[in-house]
Structure 1
Amino acid sequence: NQNRFEFGPQTLSLELPDAGSVSVKNFPRLANVTFITGDKQLDFGNIEFADPYDQICKSMGYAQTSCAAGYWKFDFCRYSNAYFKQCCADKYKYTADSCSYPNELSSDGCGGKYRCICNRTLYPVESCASPQVVSGDACTEDGKKYYSECVCPSNYTETCTGQNQQGRGTGCTYNGTTKYTACECKPGYNQTCTELGPVTPSDYCQMNGVKYYNNCKTCENKCKLDSCPVGNICEYEDCSQKYCTIGCATGYKDLDNYWCNGALRCWVK
């Protein structure tokens, strides 16, 4: 039958219609060719025919047939999926629909896909030096977080700029301002001087409404005389190293007490 073909070694029959045509594209590319010459025959066995599309794909630049681990295939030959042009790294796996704020698509890409990255201009911080902490504004890239800035913890509220004040513990600086968790007086400013008063009243540290001084008076400094006048009874003040008159000696009387209402001028009776 002129419309019947047989393929070996196993017989595969194909009946062709009388009219029209039929494709054998998807059948095995093998043929058993036999020449019949009288009572003898020549048998060439199974002959495999090369796929012409392989060469066509290669000539068009589709030379890749595999990718290393961590890469995926891109840009296949339209004649055969066995050939492609490019291997793209697995990191290139995002499109505009799958990368959302605060992340953004990278400028580099492969196969129409990109990395989903953090803008390091907007998120430059990876960690902060104590006592600063990272801000709440963060961006995650490949499982790692990046932050917009370092800030001070919320309990750092005191600037401690009062007279003779200082911050307690380590300060935290943000935008040029250093703050502390609490304030205290500088060393030495721990006396209230309630008995005789401070040596320098204007030199103090005030905390919670109380003034603290670094030097209190140890005496009143009330005496002014370098020596005790004749006829007077005097008191010597150690701190001022001066004398104060407190009365008249025996045999003397205070003339001014009579004439001047209390001033000591002691005369012989």
Structure 2
Amino acid sequence: MSLIVNTLTGGYTRIPVLKDLSFEIGNGELIGLIGLNGAGKSTTIKHIIGLMTPFEGSISIDGLTINQNPEDYRRKIGFIPETPLLYDELTLREHIEMTIMAYSLDSLKAWEIAQTLLKMFRLTDRLDWFPNDFSKGMKQKVMILCAFIIEPSLYIIDEPFLGLDPLAIRDLIQLMVDQKNRGASILMSTHVLANAERICDRFIVMHEGKIYAMGTLEDLRTHFNMPESSLEDMYGRLADKEGF
């Protein structure tokens, strides 16, 4: 089991936003984190990656908690944020080299992976470009590239499809499938429900800081009492606050 979140309560300045969350993500599993704005998805992610400290409960990756070894814990995570975070003074090449150093990767192997990803995302001739030269979609591709050269135990991917062109979306989905097959765990927060429905193994539906429903698409259909419905239909029920 890669990620275990156990009775997590947390938030800001001692005001709980998350209330008693418990879930697990196994090796080779892709889990969709679904919920309305303000449901607690981003706060959950911040706790997992170590930007926030739980009030109660625990989080472990491959049996390791952040308190036991913060550096090793964070190296187990490949994080792709909703908004690209790049250094204006570093070229694409230097972002890749910085990632290799930060995660103590084998340089030759990492650059082999990077070259494949550069070609996939059509960035091969952009290695000496700075972030100011990139569009939002290109910046997102740089974040994806840097996360996937790490080959971590756990990927945390927040709204990955925003700003990407259809070809890049297709390539990102294939990358996630490949990493699943490698045995990596993936937690993906997204509002692009058609893609989530197509590729996720299970779903965690959050509402007001709690887990409202969890399981496969069929499990959610049973929970919402909406046989044959799509994930988007069930999300609409959640938005209408029907069935609560």
TM-score bracket for the superposition, by shorter chain length: under 0.3
The structure with more strand, counted as a fraction of residues: 1
The answer to which structure, 1 or 2, has the higher relative contact order (CA under 8 A, 6+ apart) is 2
TM-score in terms of structure 1 length? 0.18
> Larger helix proportion, structure 1 or 2?
2
Query: What is the TM-score with the length of structure 2 in the denominator?
Result: 0.19
